[in-house]
Structure 1
Amino acid sequence: GFLGGSTNVSGGALNAVDDKRQKAQGIEDSVQKFYESTMKGGHNVGNPELVKYLTDNAYPTVEWMEKEGVVFRDKIGAATGSLGQRSHYGKKPAGYAYTSAFENKLKEFGDHVVVLTETPASKLIMDKSGRVIGVSGLHAGKQPVTVMAPSVILATGGFGANVKFRQEVNTGVWKEVTLDNRIGTTNINKAAQGDGLKLAKSAHADIIGLSDIQLHPNGTPGTGLMQDIATSGRNRLFINKNGDRFVSESAARDTLCKAIFKQPDGTYWLLMNKLRYPDENKPDRMGVTMKDMLALGRVKKADTLDEMAKLINVPADHLKAAVAEYNKAASNKGTKDKFGFVATNTDDAPMTEGPWYACLKVPTVHHTMGGVRIDTLARALDKDGKPVPGLYAAGEVTGGIHGANRLGGNAIADVFTFGRQAGASAAQQK
């Protein structure tokens, strides 16, 4: 019913090696490091050619987005599980910083571009040779719509909200976890059913890596959404119900979630302090103020750690020891603590002053890494690795880019880098 899909409600982190912004913060990085961390984070099963294309072209994509109207913040951050400090954020809140800019861009084309919401595609139209030449669907549940075209791009998102399907294909990283209704999702329900995969299969495109499902550690109990508190970045601790830290907060997302499932009740408290929220009336990256979050009742506030321990029902001595342990690592940059946390990020700092804030969190289905097999031109490929004529794909509907685990901040980089390429490739079809 609206533009933007799951990108619209994402955290908006976009990973790219950006010499100008990173060097201004004293961050040392390279495209090779970006490539290596993406391969390693994906358990080295991602397609090296696709990963190289992503990491080589992420910053040119940032430059292109700026020309199209996106305004980025100067400060580079580190999304949860990013394995590096190269996450860009828009000045507008979250993913809306991008979707709003492109929606405005569409309006510049006037009647040359027709946007149809509430129009699920039901069929790819193919000629006798197997070329995709159009698509048909149903608008508002009653009006048939058919569009004939030299090329079709699938950009239909993943299947994280399709509980039945995600359980059927869950034979990979999370095979020991039942991904039923008790595990929520951060995705928009209608935008994450996997319908694009059915369309692709009907055109004989190869579907790969469906068992590669990502959970995010920062879901809200009961819904799986992440909108109640800004969860990404640094200077926030994972505290279990015993008041202890139990994992390196900078670890990859699958490592974080596996550690959470081993904790009492499979939940934990995300603990922050004044360092993250110096002004309760100032909107964070998600466009929400701490004052609003406190009013909703999801976030607990205390002036001291002793008070916080009572609010979240953990031993005060454990909680204070956990914070002290983190502060020691944050004060000794480059020194690994017992969980493997290393404070090399320029934003890492000891957490000492109140007020303190805590929010109960659980793992949630966040991203599905499997999907349509593509090449670096965003062409959909069949089982023999040959292009399906006239069919292109980009974004979460595709597979092979992120391997078995996606780095935080790589999805937005993916959707716009390969989306840009899909558009360029498709436009060449006559």
Structure 2
Amino acid sequence: MQTRRSFLKFGAGAAAVGALAPLTVSANSSDVKWDEEHEIIIVGSGFAGLAAAVEAGKLGAKDIVIFEKLGVYGGNSTLNAGQACFANTDLQKQLGIEDSAELMVQDQLKSGRGYASEELLRHSAELGPYIYQLTKDCGCIYRDHIINTGGTSATRSHQVIERSGAGFIRPMLKTARGYGVKTKIRHKFEHLITAKDGTVLGIQVRKGYHFGHEDSGKLINVRAEKGVLIATGGFGANVSFRQALDPNLGSEVGCTNARGATGDGLIAMIAEGAMPVHLSFIQSGPWASPDEGGFGYGAGFSLYNFPHSVAIDRNTGQRFMNETADRKTRADLEVQRRDKDGKPNPALLITPKHEAKKDPSMANVLKYNVAWEFDSVEAIAKHFDVPVKPLKKQIEDWNTYVKAGEDLQFGKRMNMSTGIYLTAPFIVQRLWPKVHYCQGGIQINAKAEVIAAKTGEKIPGLYAAGEVSGGVHGVSRLGGCSTPECMAFGVTAARSIMKA
């Protein structure tokens, strides 16, 4: 039932976020015909949603449902590189790596450039060891190698053996179902259903939905006994929405996200009065390749090889950045690589095959023409039209930095490059950023409760976790930090709902 009040609320939301905002329903519970009722409703089956389902199951919830709008589970979470930054783990100790939650928080605050939430970052980092163990208890298996992601002062990115987010999703989905969690695909979240006092009562979903056919399926109303968790992810695949926030991110810019990352949950919560924060902080991945679509194989290849490789400007044959700086720093520098006419001239990541072959991604980037093998510096220069003398000098200089353990050009942390000299044969991949992560979203507190814009107080019955929430990371998110944050606030939301 749509009242005049809810129509006016929709109008205000549309003015703020565009005509894509869905209607909200404001009604007493007696005014709504409920088609289903569940103890806990979770919208989205990615890291946040599944972590919440597992935790709620552990805490004794008996009737949990997960709604997923696509035909497969996991959403955007399945497409990442299977990495999660945890501090002070047993694996770090085995490898002689000193780290702490405090150090992780400080690294992230620096990357956030004054906009990150210390409270939320600390909450996530301190829950890290619990999340690490939870995933292992679910059956996730980690590699015995920890990756050095950019902008960190300690090596802390743990990676599952699948080197894909699916390595988290499949075990967690199985564990959730073991607790009796109901999982439903092709159920698209349409909007929240609220009482007149603003309390969230439930949601409307489109049952039998097929992506791209917006009128497909049947609308049903689903009541939540204890609470609704929105874990629908970001809006990177919604080109009109992201371009309205950042005019530089139009359709000509690639994107690593799944097609379902259209911001449905975010838009609905804003229309319901939730506080939007940092929406224009949209991050591009500096490890992306322009020679493949989506996230691709190149991301994993470059992530592994950045610490002991060089990124070269094709115009000069010289390095132009610290290859392990934070994402924003690198992406901003990469997008400046242009030819004389101002057209993109993607940089080159040059890595030694003797080290690159230790990572399984090398076979795929070579097989699918995302990277190429060369026997000499001259061959690289000829193929990519790079001035050969400066390139040879740069590689010689780099090898002196490796020997000395100090990068005199850009101050790169060299502990992951010890003894790894840049010698032929070489593997070379092109680099060009792609839209990857939305730091902005709706505001939550450390209990994963959604905050109302009008009052600054929580919206009763409504929780959010993962990329749909904003203000956590600030201007730039460090690599490997979204996975544990999504899971940490999914777990937190479950705890808050069970205590409500």
TM-score normalised to structure 2 length: 0.78
Give distance in 1, aligned partners of 2:220 and 2:394. Answer: 59
Aligned 8 A contact 2:149 2:324 in 1: no
Give distance in 1, aligned partners of 2:391 and 2:253. Answer: 27
SS at 2:269's partner residue? Answer: helix
The alpha-carbon distance between structure 1 residues 203 and 28, as it changes in their structure 2 partners (threshold 3 A), is same
Give distance in 1, aligned partners of 2:483 and 2:241. Answer: 24
Tell me how far 1:382 sits from its aligned partner. Answer: 1.0
Residue segments in structure 1 that go unaligned for 5+ positions in a row: 171-176
The alpha-carbon distance between structure 1 residues 4 and 76, as it changes in their structure 2 partners (threshold 3 A), is same
Aligned 8 A contact 1:124 1:202 in 2: no
Structure 1 residue 145 and structure 2 residue 145: aligned?
no
Tell me how far 1:212 sits from its aligned partner. Answer: 1.0
Q: In terms of mean alpha carbon deviation, does 178-187 or 75-84 score higher?
A: 75-84
- Within-5 A mapping of 1:281-430: 284=360, 288=361, 290-333=362-405, 335-343=406-414, 345-383=415-453, 384-429=455-500
Matched with 1:173 is none
Residue 334 of structure 2 aligns to which amino acid in structure 1?
I
The alpha-carbon distance between structure 1 residues 59 and 330, as it changes in their structure 2 partners (threshold 3 A), is farther
Number of matched residues?
411
SS at 1:276's partner residue? Answer: helix
Indicate the percent of aligned positions where both proteins have the same amino acid: 28
Give distance in 1, aligned partners of 2:164 and 2:151. Answer: 17
- Within-5 A mapping of 1:10-29: 10-29=80-99
Give distance in 2, aligned partners of 1:105 and 1:37. Answer: 33
Give distance in 2, aligned partners of 1:347 and 1:424. Answer: 42
Tell me how far 1:17 sits from its aligned partner. Answer: 0.7
Give distance in 1, aligned partners of 2:349 and 2:398. Answer: 14
Q: In terms of mean alpha carbon deviation, does 413-422 or 303-312 score higher?
A: 303-312
Matched with 1:273 is 352
Structure 1 residue 95 and structure 2 residue 169: aligned?
no
Largest Rg, 1 or 2: 2
Q: In terms of mean alpha carbon deviation, does 266-275 or 367-376 score higher?
A: 266-275
- Within-5 A mapping of 1:11-410: 11-82=81-152, 84-109=154-179, 112-139=180-207, 140=209, 141-149=216-224, 150-170=226-246, 178-190=248-260, 192-221=261-290, 225-229=294-298, 230-233=301-304, 234-242=307-315, 243-264=317-338, 265-278=344-357, 284=360, 288=361, 290-333=362-405, 335-343=406-414, 345-383=415-453, 384-410=455-481
Give distance in 1, aligned partners of 2:87 and 2:354. Answer: 26
Give distance in 2, aligned partners of 1:409 and 1:292. Answer: 22
Q: In terms of mean alpha carbon deviation, does 26-35 or 363-372 score higher?
A: 26-35
Q: CA RMSD in A?
A: 2.0
Aligned 8 A contact 2:355 2:420 in 1: no
SS at 1:401's partner residue? Answer: coil
Residue 311 of structure 1 aligns to which amino acid in structure 2?
H
Residue 239 of structure 1 aligns to which amino acid in structure 2?
I
SS at 1:157's partner residue? Answer: coil
Residue 188 of structure 2 aligns to which amino acid in structure 1?
P
Residue 367 of structure 1 aligns to which amino acid in structure 2?
Y
Give distance in 2, aligned partners of 1:358 and 1:336. Answer: 21
The alpha-carbon distance between structure 1 residues 162 and 232, as it changes in their structure 2 partners (threshold 3 A), is same
Aligned 8 A contact 2:140 2:168 in 1: yes
Aligned 8 A contact 1:300 1:311 in 2: no
The alpha-carbon distance between structure 1 residues 347 and 5, as it changes in their structure 2 partners (threshold 3 A), is farther
The alpha-carbon distance between structure 1 residues 376 and 349, as it changes in their structure 2 partners (threshold 3 A), is farther
